[in-house]
Structure 1
Amino acid sequence: MSTRPSRLALPVVATALVGGCVVPSSGGPGAGEDAVTTSASAAPCLSLGDDLAPSTGVLAGVNLDWERDLLSEYAERLGERPAVAVSFARFPLQAQDEEHVTAAKDQVRDNGGMLLLTLEPHDGLATVTDEAVGALATLLDGYNEDGVPVVVRFAHEMNGSWYPWGQQPEAYREAFRRVADAVHREAPGSAMMWAPNYGGGYPFTGGAHAASPGSDAYQALDTSVDGTVDESDDPYAPYYPGDDAVDWVGMSLYHWGDAHPWGENEVPEESKFVDQLTGSYDGAAGDETAVPDFYAEYAQERGKPVGIPETAAFFRPGGGGADELTIKRAWWSQLVDPALHRDFPQLHMVNWFEWRKHEPEVDAVVDWRATGTPGVAQAYAEDLPEWYVHPGEGC
């Protein structure tokens, strides 16, 4: 969903998670007498690698509605501060975009954790110039110097047909690599995330930016080489920019309901999250087992940390069906299942989509939030296990 508001050496930014607390490295911002110190009750330190992934545990984050909410308010409702906060911006960044992202960065700095910055080139991939990416890298380096690590999710859901950067594999890979080169070179306290949309329903025909039959892009997407782009083709591989450019891999995974057309308040199936992550889903929404195993290919084979930059469960107020807590708890229970942590050790980030907004797919307001009501917020907080990392009060 779209919203507005290395190989990495980390000499001056957060490099360790202590009791869930992101703390600056020695000599960086916050070092000296003002540095965070270890408390007797804190959990053991969790070190961050060069890719900003923790060596163990899952970073618990949030997609916040920045125009209506504050990180501090969300933390008060949840009783925990999020380890990751997600912000969206058009790219190249204009003055207002930079102002909004910097305001989000300031909240992250004050509350602890890291920023996941989603960049959206709505004017097309041709706008991703050396000048634009150079300015971005300089900005990110400043954020890092201010003590805020940044994971850049560039042009997400590029395998979809709904964005101007969608279904253009060659141009997309080139643009991603241009951004990655600048970020890795000039902002070593930042990392790059490649994040397609879940492949169920691929190639998502009918979108305004679908690849046209006969075009070079269409031929590149025909991975089965049968002359047609359909569910038999790989929805991920043609868009992958390369191991050297990618630090994290991610995927948007939502529970919209049991079957299209969406709009009903329905409890998610027990194993839906894992089944979709691994390309083994065959349920109420249909047989989607032609989708590749994302985790096996990109986490196990390529060794990348996996993030779920956006997730939530559909609830339409006044829509009848199952109640809000039952639906949302059934979904987040899959995210906090000890078996998930055991069987998918490279899953290191999960960000809840904390929005109440009108969704054109159902022409109705959908409340995706986990802390929108006190009862749901309390249940969510109670169910989060200790291996979900939050910034703590001290180390």
Structure 2
Amino acid sequence: MQGVALAHTLLLAGTVLTGCSSPQSPEAVPTGPPCVVATDLVPATGVLSGVNLDWQNGTVAEYASRLGRRPAVVVYSTAFPLPEDGKQNVDAAVGQIKANGGILLLTLEPHDGLDAVTPGKAEELARQLAGYNNAGVPVVVRFGQEMNGGWFPWGQQPAAYIAAFRTVADAVHRIAPGSDMMWAPNYGGGYPFDGGQYRAKAGTMDAGSLDTDGDGAVTVADDPYRPYYPGDDAVDWVGMSLYHWGTTYLSGTNVVPEEGKFLQQLTGTYNGVGGDERNVPDFYADYGTARNKPVAIPETAALSIPSRGGDDELAIKQAWWRQLFDPAIPRDYPALKMVNWFEWEKLEVDLDVKAEVNWTVAKEDTVRDAYIADLPEWFTSAAEPQACTPVG
């Protein structure tokens, strides 16, 4: 999620999971055949259907029960390097995912700065991931999401970010073959996102690196993705946070999204009520198909503010998810392999939003039932979990 509204992830960092029903660690799972250590996490067909779960207020099992299907991907976010009780929290999340089946998308947030991401810490993490892989839980590591924005301590520092990403990727690729690395900027509409606390300052080396058109300033004309790309050898998945925020970015208006908005923003062809954003590169083509990388939408949802008037919650959310379920996607956009809904209710403090936003699809029965009815077969859920004995 864009901007300082992403502070929700801090609730998870260094905090023992609550609202959870005593999740098992992978080692506590009943024995059975040897666990399969998956090394190819990209589905041959279809799109992995996942969830950004509010771990403070629910479990994976409860979410799966509400939808009648197990999510193929579950997102968990933590500070990195891991805080004192960070491993315990990740273990608890992995225990729930082990019982559910599917993939952990582990979001690592270097809140202490990119200099804190050392080879030693990266190798320690990779050994932890290898344990999860050997217990049958695949992991995709999303390191330092939305680095092209200025709202996180790791934002708009291209050289330092790339070095840190590659440090983590090197360790993960060497030590945890059942884990992948995901590079995931924010959608580039509105770049360079004025007002962020960590935005690159004019005259610095970072600002010089971000001035891709060489006009002496970082502006909307500069490439919002390329300066931050860590390299094909370090990246296994490419992803992008992409939300419907209302009429315009962070407008806080309850309005049905325009037809075709999702795919237009993914491909850099959007020109609508939110403005002409055709200067934004085609993320799908430039970082997906051209580089032979699977494409993910690790976070998405449609804004609905219960305390305000405007369009109906169901109308807004259904219009957005039907764009995610567009039958053209498996035919014309086969590299799109993962979409994760942001299943949260939370206070958004940015710009004109400044209100409690209900991003969920599974909470209200009417919305949930409509969502389930619209889910296409190619939007895939997790397979039935099997008890197994960890390898090694």
TM-score by length of 1: 0.88
Taking the aligned partners of 2:101 and 2:385, their CA distance within structure 1 comes to 11
Taking the aligned partners of 2:173 and 2:385, their CA distance within structure 1 comes to 30
Q: Which residue of the partner structure matches residue 274 of structure 1?
A: 263
Taking the aligned partners of 1:73 and 1:144, their CA distance within structure 2 comes to 24
8 A Cα contact 2:101 2:385, kept in partner: no
Alpha-carbon offset, residue 309 of structure 1:
0.3
Structure 1 stretch displaced more, 256-265 or 87-96: 256-265
8 A Cα contact 1:267 1:322, kept in partner: yes
8 A Cα contact 1:151 1:193, kept in partner: yes
Q: Between the two proteins, what is the percent identity of the paired residues?
A: 60
| Pair 1:142 & 2:114 matched | no
Taking the aligned partners of 1:183 and 1:277, their CA distance within structure 2 comes to 28
Alpha-carbon offset, residue 255 of structure 1:
0.3
Q: 1:344 to 1:103 in 2, by over 3 A?
A: same
**Residue number among 317, 327, 333 corresponding to 2:306 in the alignment:** 317
SS at match of 2:194: coil
**Residue number among 366, 371, 375 corresponding to 1:380 in the alignment:** 371
**Residue number among 199, 211, 214 corresponding to 1:210 in the alignment:** 199
User: Over aligned residue pairs, what C-alpha RMSD do you find?
Assistant: 1.7
Question: Equivalent residues in 2 for 1:6-21 (5 A)?
Answer: none
8 A Cα contact 1:51 1:247, kept in partner: no
Q: Which residue of the partner structure matches residue 158 of structure 2?
A: 169
8 A Cα contact 1:211 1:218, kept in partner: yes
Q: 1:51 to 1:177 in 2, by over 3 A?
A: farther
Taking the aligned partners of 1:218 and 1:233, their CA distance within structure 2 comes to 11
Q: Which residue of the partner structure matches residue 56 of structure 2?
A: 67
Number of corresponding residues: 359
Taking the aligned partners of 2:385 and 2:76, their CA distance within structure 1 comes to 25
Per-residue CA distance 1:39-87 (angstroms, 9 max, x = gap) = xxxxxxxxx7x45111111000000000111111101111111000000
**Residue number among 95, 100, 104 corresponding to 1:106 in the alignment:** 95
Q: Which residue of the partner structure matches residue 287 of structure 2?
A: 298
Question: Equivalent residues in 2 for 1:196-275 (5 A)?
Answer: 196-260=185-249, 262-275=251-264
Per-residue CA distance 1:241-294 (angstroms, 9 max, x = gap) = 000000000000000001255122100001110010001111111111100000
Q: Which residue of the partner structure matches residue 365 of structure 1?
A: 356
Letter in 2 for 1:75: A
TM-score by length of 2: 0.89
Taking the aligned partners of 2:385 and 2:79, their CA distance within structure 1 comes to 35
Alpha-carbon offset, residue 394 of structure 1:
7.4
SS at match of 1:218: helix
**Residue number among 73, 84, 98 corresponding to 2:73 in the alignment:** 84
8 A Cα contact 1:58 1:348, kept in partner: yes
Per-residue CA distance 1:8-51 (angstroms, 9 max, x = gap) = xxxxxxxxxxxxxxxxxxxxx8536xx89xxxxxxxxxxx7x45
Letter in 1 for 2:374: D
Letter in 1 for 2:259: E
Q: Which residue of the partner structure matches residue 58 of structure 1?
A: 47
| Pair 1:287 & 2:276 matched | yes
Question: Equivalent residues in 2 for 1:176-191 (5 A)?
Answer: 176-191=165-180
Q: 1:260 to 1:133 in 2, by over 3 A?
A: closer
Q: 1:109 to 1:235 in 2, by over 3 A?
A: same
8 A Cα contact 1:312 1:328, kept in partner: yes
List, as ranges, runs of 4+ consecutive aligned residues in structure 1 with deviation greater than 3 Å: 392-395
Taking the aligned partners of 1:194 and 1:260, their CA distance within structure 2 comes to 23
8 A Cα contact 1:355 1:368, kept in partner: yes
Taking the aligned partners of 1:182 and 1:120, their CA distance within structure 2 comes to 17
SS at match of 2:85: helix
Structure 2: 5+ residue stretches without partners: 13-30, 387-392
SS at match of 2:357: strand
Taking the aligned partners of 2:385 and 2:65, their CA distance within structure 1 comes to 17
8 A Cα contact 2:101 2:384, kept in partner: no
Q: 1:394 to 1:363 in 2, by over 3 A?
A: closer
Structure 1: 5+ residue stretches without partners: 6-28, 37-47
